[in-house]
């Protein structure tokens, strides 16, 4: 008989922040100055900085459906308040937001329906494991697997990397049935992390231990934790006040973006300079809007026209990407001659070991639209003098 799993209010984790902090740090951080702080103080500032994105998705108990729609509408309006400077000691107006956007039956339905879909498709650990193994074996038969082997081998020979931190990616217990494009894509993305570890072990045969893989996603539920554990991956808590994935980042980290819904680059590069960064898209400065998250605050209105001012991160994506492109070597994955059609899913949709083709003819790989590896160049850094303004 299958075990019935219940969704948890907070992500199930094997690694939490020992001292959760729900405050906000509204100023941009300087990664070089963070290096001078104690681990506790450094983590405190990173957690508070990353909390802004957690609040931006809506605090617990709010109608996320209505709140996120209001945020999206506000970001598209030119007459909204545009705060160009950070506000000292700012806090998220939780009580006001809960009053303006109370949780509704629709919110309950969306959460319950999503959970029921996952458990209907994958009622127990064995079912998920079988689907993951099938998708991973499919991926090994494709063209991309061999190309990534070469890419990662060169990386691990060139750079000192002691951990892999992957953000986003979605639940391993997928809402779609086994043997569908959506399920294959998510499982293959996580399979790439296992490929990274395999290559790292080949490059470091005398290491004595596996390189740790940390994965963070806000949607993880109880069964996801079991699946991750069986794959020798450690789920870390990315909830408000914890932000463990961000605190793990340092100059020996291989940072992986598994299609995270928040802008990883400007946040991560406030905290550190990772040894390498894997992105599902190439980072072309001309393709990025400089204003997406550049605001420090935003006026959000509910359907009745009532307003609340919420903090925004005040990051500069364009500026960060321009810096990254100077400091990192870019290698785009070759997407020629991919297998896009060797499997017909149970829903009738065709896909392959490497990806699929959209109705408009575009090729989409399972690992991203334009998967790209960024490797940090060897540079001589100007040290920061404690107490200096630079």
> What is the structure's pLDDT at 191?
97
3-class DSSP assignment, residue 109: helix
Do residues 165 and 264 touch, judged by C-beta distance below 8 A? no
Q: pLDDT of 137-147, one tens digit each?
A: 999 999 999 99
Strands laid side by side in the 276-279 sheet: 234-235, 213-216, 163-168, 253-258, 276-279, 372-376, 328-332
In the chain the first and final C-alpha atoms are separated, in Å, by 62
Q: What is the mean pLDDT of residues 180-186?
A: 95
pTM of the model: 0.90
CA dihedral 155, 158, 164, 170 (to 10 degrees): -20
Can you read off the two tokens belonging to residue 371?
């998967």
Q: pLDDT of 259-316, one tens digit each?
A: 887 778 889 999 999 999 999 988 887 766 656 677 888 888 999 999 998 888 888 8
| Model confidence at 23: pLDDT above 50 | yes
Q: What is the mean pLDDT of residues 237-254?
A: 93
| Model confidence at 351: pLDDT above 60 | yes
Q: Are strands 213-216 and 163-168 parallel, antiparallel or unpaired?
A: parallel
Q: What is the mean pLDDT of residues 215-231?
A: 89
Share of the chain above pLDDT 70, in %: 89
Do residues 25 and 49 touch, judged by C-beta distance below 8 A? yes
Q: pLDDT of 110-121, one tens digit each?
A: 778 888 888 899
3-class DSSP assignment, residue 165: strand
Contacts of 155 by beta carbon, 8 Å cutoff, 6+ apart: 161, 254, 276, 373, 375
């Amino acid at each position: 008989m299958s075990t019935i799993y219940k969704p948890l209010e907070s992500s199930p984790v094997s690694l939490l922040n020992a001292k959760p902090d729900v405050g906000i740090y509204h100023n941009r951080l300087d990664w070089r100055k963070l290096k001078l702080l104690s681990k506790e103080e450094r983590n405190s500032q990173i957690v508070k900085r990353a909390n802004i994105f957690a609040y931006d998705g809506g605090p617990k108990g709010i109608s996320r459906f209505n709140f996120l729609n209001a945020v999206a509408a506000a970001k598209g309006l030119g007459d909204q308040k545009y705060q160009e400077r950070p506000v000292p000691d700012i806090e998220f107006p939780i009580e006001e937001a809960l009053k303006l956007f109370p949780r509704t039956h629709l919110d309950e339905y969306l959460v319950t329906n999503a959970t029921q879909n996952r458990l209907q498709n994958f009622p127990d650990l064995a079912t998920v494991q079988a689907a993951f193994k099938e998708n991973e074996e499919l991926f090994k038969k494709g063209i991309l697997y061999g190309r990534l082997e070469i890419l990662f081998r060169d990386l691990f020979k060139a750079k000192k990397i002691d951990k892999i931190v992957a953000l986003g990616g979605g639940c391993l217990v997928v809402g779609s049935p086994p043997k569908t494009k959506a399920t294959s894509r998510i499982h293959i993305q996580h399979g790439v992390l296992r490929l990274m570890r395999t290559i790292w072990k080949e490059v470091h045969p005398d290491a004595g231990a596996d390189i740790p893989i940390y994965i963070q996603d806000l949607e993880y539920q109880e069964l996801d934790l079991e699946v991750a554990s069986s794959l020798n991956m450690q789920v870390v808590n990315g909830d408000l006040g914890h932000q463990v994935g961000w605190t793990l980042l340092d100059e020996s980290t291989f940072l992986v973006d598994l299609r995270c819904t928040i802008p990883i680059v400007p946040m991560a590069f406030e905290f550190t300079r990772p040894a390498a960064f894997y992105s599902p898209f190439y980072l072309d400065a001309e393709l990025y809007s400089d204003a997406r998250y550049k605001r420090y605050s935003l006026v959000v209105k509910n359907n009745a026209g009532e307003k609340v001012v919420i903090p925004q991160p005040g990051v500069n994506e364009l500026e960060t990407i321009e810096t990254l492109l100077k400091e990192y070597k870019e290698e785009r994955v070759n997407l020629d001659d991919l297998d896009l059609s060797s499997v017909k899913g149970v829903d009738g949709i065709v896909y392959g070991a490497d990806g699929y083709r959209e109705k408009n003819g575009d090729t989409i790989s399972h690992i991203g639209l334009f998967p790209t590896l960024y490797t940090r160049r060897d540079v001589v850094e100007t040290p920061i003098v404690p107490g200096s303004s630079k």
